[in-house]
Amino acid sequence: MRDATKSVKEDIDDSAKAITTPIYQTTAYLYPEGEKYRYSREANPTVLELAKKIAELEGAEQGVAFSSGMGAISTVSLSLLKPNANVLIHRDMFARTYKFFMDFVRSWGVNVDSSLPGNQNLIEMAKSKKYNLIFIESISNPLLRVIDIPELSKIVREYNGILVVDSTFATPINQKPLELGSTIVIHSASKFLAGHNDVIAGLAAGYSEYLSVIDQMRRTLGTSLDPHAAYLTLRGIKTLKIRMDVINRNAEQIAEFLEGHSKVKRVYYPGLKTY
């Protein structure tokens, strides 16, 4: 099944046979049984449909939805790290992510190293120490750098480390990090996935071995997504392939124009031949 079809496909709602996922705007459930539906902070049908959607788009075993992109990053990281663990990030990433690792994670007793911009610096540092977690952005925010995911995944596997890729700027349409060797992929769905500037949401996808633990941490930390926000994100994803095709085409035309402009010194865009 192609990405465009995956984007619009939804399971039929069993209760009313609706072809669009309903908004289950509820706190609790009548006579809850078992572990699935007891309290919406823990599990909600609308939110679970979104988690399933990102897993399908990324080719993952499991997906989890969060209250924001930073909610996804913090929950994933806190699930995987312990005091004295070694973490590698790179300097040219989203400022709030960088601050989270350098300020909060470090204060938690984790050793955090930061490489200078560029693939070569990052790869050399990845080889220099056994890192429990390497966290990267590809494509990076804001300079749109493309990180060598296959090479980093090869290095990480040698010492059983974990590679997490924030793929927000690429989306599953342009890049599938799990296919390139990453362990987990993260998205701020607030941006391209939801696509209408009316949602704050985060997503993660990967192997169930890790995502099941991350999902339990989400329930504990309370970084759960609201059902209405999940519905809006599902709605936005339906046009993801169409929107990204147009965005890619327009961005390339703008980048080519600016690259030839006498008053522009440099253009950062991975689609350029001179990149």
Q: What is the mean pLDDT of each run of 10 residues along the chain (275 residues)?
A: 70 75 90 76 95 97 98 98 97 96 97 93 95 97 94 95 98 98 98 96 98 98 97 97 96 96 94 85
**Residue whose entry in the numeric block shows the structure tokens 């539906």:** 37
For 52-66, give one letter per residue: b (16+ CB within 10 A) or e. Answer: bbbbbbbebebbbbb
**For position 118, what pLDDT does the model report?**
84
Q: Decide: helix, strand or coil at residue 86.
A: strand
Tell me how far apart the alpha carbons of residues 116 and 124 are, in angstroms, rounded to a whole number.
11
Q: What is the CATH number of the domain that holds 154?
A: 3.40.640.10
Instruction: Give, in order, the Cα–Cα distances in Å from 18 to each of 4, 13, 53.
Output: 21, 5, 17
- Are 44 and 91 contained in the same domain? yes
- Number of domains within the chain: 2
**Per-residue tokens: 126:** 């990845």
- Are 268 and 183 contained in the same domain? no
Residues 6+ apart with CB under 8 A from 165: 136, 137, 138, 147, 149, 177, 182, 184, 185, 186
- Are 15 and 145 contained in the same domain? yes
- Are 179 and 49 contained in the same domain? yes
Which segments of 42-101 are extended strands (E)? 62-66, 86-90
Which segments of 67-213 are extended strands (E)? 86-90, 111-115, 133-137, 162-166, 184-188, 202-206
**For position 34, what pLDDT does the model report?**
61
- Are 275 and 179 contained in the same domain? no
- Are 8 and 46 contained in the same domain? yes
Between the two ends of the chain, the Cα-to-Cα distance in Å is: 32
**For position 173, what pLDDT does the model report?**
97
Instruction: Give, in order, the Cα–Cα distances in Å from 232 to each of 57, 97, 165, 200.
Output: 17, 25, 24, 10
- Are 211 and 250 contained in the same domain? no
Give the pairing of strands 162-166 and 86-90: unpaired
Instruction: Give, in order, the Cα–Cα distances in Å from 191 to each of 29, 47, 59.
Output: 32, 18, 20
Tell me how far apart the alpha carbons of residues 195 and 233 are, in angstroms, rounded to a whole number.
8
- Are 184 and 250 contained in the same domain? no
Minimal CA–CA distance to 169: which of 144, 198, 135, 203? 144
- Are 209 and 255 contained in the same domain? no
- Are 147 and 264 contained in the same domain? no
- Are 58 and 177 contained in the same domain? yes
- Are 195 and 119 contained in the same domain? yes
pTM above 0.85, yes or no: yes
Residue numbers of the domain that contains 268: 241-275
**For position 117, what pLDDT does the model report?**
87
